[in-house]
Amino acid sequence: MELKLYDTLTKDKQPFRPLDSNNVRMYVCGPTVYDFAHIGNARPVIVFDVLFRLLRHVYGESHVKYVRNITDVDDKINDRALRDYPGLPLNEAIRKVTEQTEWQFHDDVDALGCLRPTVEPRATEHVAEMRAIIEKLIKNGNAYVEQDHVLFKVASDPNYGKLARRSLDEMLAGARVDVAPYKHDAMDFVLWKPSKPGEPSWPSPGGIKPEGRPGWHIECSAMAWKHLGEQFDIHGGGIDLVFPHHENELAQSCCAFHEARMANVWMHNGFLQVEGEKMSKSLGNFVTIRELLTGWRGRSWPGDALRFAMMQTHYRSPIDWSLVLCDNAFNTLKDFFSVAAATTSENPPASIVEALADDLNTPKVIAELHALRRQVRSTGDEASVALGDALAFLGLDAERFSAWVAKADASVLSGAGKVDDLIAARAAARARKDFKESDRLRDELAARGIVLKDGKDVDGNPVTTWEIAR
Ligand code: AMP
Ligand code: ZN
């Protein structure tokens, strides 16, 4: 088996050769912690979790280091802190917002079956490394100080633009760069800037007197350097990060360390849209992971079903998220779990590993799962064990799935009151031909997630059974 990965920089699929197979290193840009993560944010988390599991399988669990940062310095965080905790000093309010959001994020991605990365560095704990890189860039002639800002001098880097493969005009438009008085050139981007009064601030690099705060791109260069070194194997994130974020990270790190490459492979997941449209609050189709787990349009799904839904599409293609996608994923997975043996992730079937090794071909993986499901009918136990092994390897957990279903059912039942009593009342209403009341009782149950099925028993007498709507 040969692992092949698509590299955004070279634009082709290549055999993966780690710099050191005893220490395979991957960095993925993580969340900015100011609010619940949306289902689009879940995509890179799931995609790179699948890759992490595959790398651990190929190179050994203790030979893979996965770093996913937490961005805890950002204007959106400051705005949220001011809004939610107007009485608190800003820095304290910011800490509350970031800690709470980080817990929420962990709960959500745990439910999606994602392993915790090896390290989850916080930007605010790596300001010294950011300053060190900035000093190197100034010394190397790649950055300059102007009006208490430090800027990266794009013209000093002949390789700038190679990742995004865009013309200067396209890059200018894409970066939505401001023409600012402290910029020598419109393309130059901020490495360090002054903090506004009351905002978080740190001693500045480059001999700047007032304290300041880092730009966004330098955070990832600093955290990747600290935890993975000057060069590492894989750098990942969503496709929207290619430009300007990754282009800028690449420029900073390569110029600071005099390296030709920052990461050997750049991987980007395609975008997620909801029911054919870009997800946005104004379109009313914005949905968080938490809402999908607990209630979206009157429905909810276990995290394993959401993970499985995400795997239906190849990671580089756009994905269209919908209610039907979630329902189908739920039903298929429920069927798989109903016949799969309870087992562990240690011995995945070769067909599954091979499909993943081909640039994480999860649609092929799913076809293989269906093939195993068909084999359960003919070969029984053997295929049932293989299916169980495959599901466990993919991070799909039968126990967690059933626990979610049991909890959701219990909550429907408690909300519906005594289902049997309501059904008996409806039968009585029907018997006295009070159809208005019997319909009302049926609707009341339906509103609480119970569907009634009217039929006849063996003697031809009417009977009503019920089930929980899915
Ligand atoms: P952010 O918190 O916006 O910086 O995003 C965190 C991660 O989620 C990044 O890797 C983004 O590329 C990714 N991301 C954000 N929105 C989407 C989306 N709609 N589809 C896929 N990935 C996304
Ligand atoms: Zn980043």
Query: What is the average per-residue pLDDT within 248-265?
Result: 97
pLDDT score recorded for residue 9: 96
Chain centre to alpha carbon of residue 393: 18
Q: What is the pTM of this model?
A: 0.91
pLDDT score recorded for residue 457: 84
User: Ligand 1 pocket: which of 28, 35, 43 to mutate (most atoms <8 Å of CB)?
Assistant: 43
Q: Whose CA is nearest to atom 8 of ligand 1?
A: 41
**Half-sphere exposure of residue 428: CA atoms within 13 angstroms, side-chain side:** 6
For residue 23, pLDDT beyond 70: yes
Counting Cβ atoms within 10 Å, is residue 100 exposed (0-12), middle (13-18) or buried (19+)? middle
Tell me the CA–centroid distance for residue 56 and ligand 2, in Å.
23
Query: What is the average per-residue pLDDT within 204-214?
Result: 97
pLDDT digits 0-9 by tens, 313-322: 999 999 999 9
Top-confidence residue, 463 or 97? 97
For residue 266, pLDDT beyond 70: yes
Please choose, from the candidates 158, 153, 160, the residue with its C-alpha nearest in 3D space to the C-alpha of residue 134.
153
Please choose, from the candidates 236, 295, 297, 288, the residue with its C-alpha nearest in 3D space to the C-alpha of residue 107.
288
For residue 174, pLDDT beyond 70: no
State the pLDDT confidence band at 283, using cuts at 50, 70 and 90: confident
pLDDT score recorded for residue 256: 98
CA angle centred on 81, ends 79 and 87, rounded to 5°: 120
- How crowded is residue 406: how many other Cβ atoms within 10 Å of its Cβ? 10
Task: Order across the sheet with 24-28: list the strands.
Answer: 64-68, 24-28, 232-238, 263-269
Instruction: Locate 219 and state its tokens.
Output: 């955070």
Find the distance separating the first CA and the last CA of the chain, reported in whole Å.
40
List of domains in the chain: 4-269 (3.40.50.620), 272-407 (no CATH), 415-468 (no CATH)
Please choose, from the candidates 126, 115, 160, the residue with its C-alpha nearest in 3D space to the C-alpha of residue 142.
160
pLDDT score recorded for residue 115: 98
pLDDT score recorded for residue 185: 93
Q: Which ligand is nearest the CA of 27, by number?
A: 2
> DSSP of 87-112, one letter per residue?
TS-HHHHHHHHHHHHHHHHHHHHHHT
For residue 123, pLDDT beyond 90: yes
Distance, CA of 277 to CA of 350 (rounded, Å): 37
pLDDT score recorded for residue 255: 98
pLDDT digits 0-9 by tens, 333-360: 999 999 999 988 889 999 999 999 999 9
Query: What is the average per-residue pLDDT within 262-269?
Result: 98
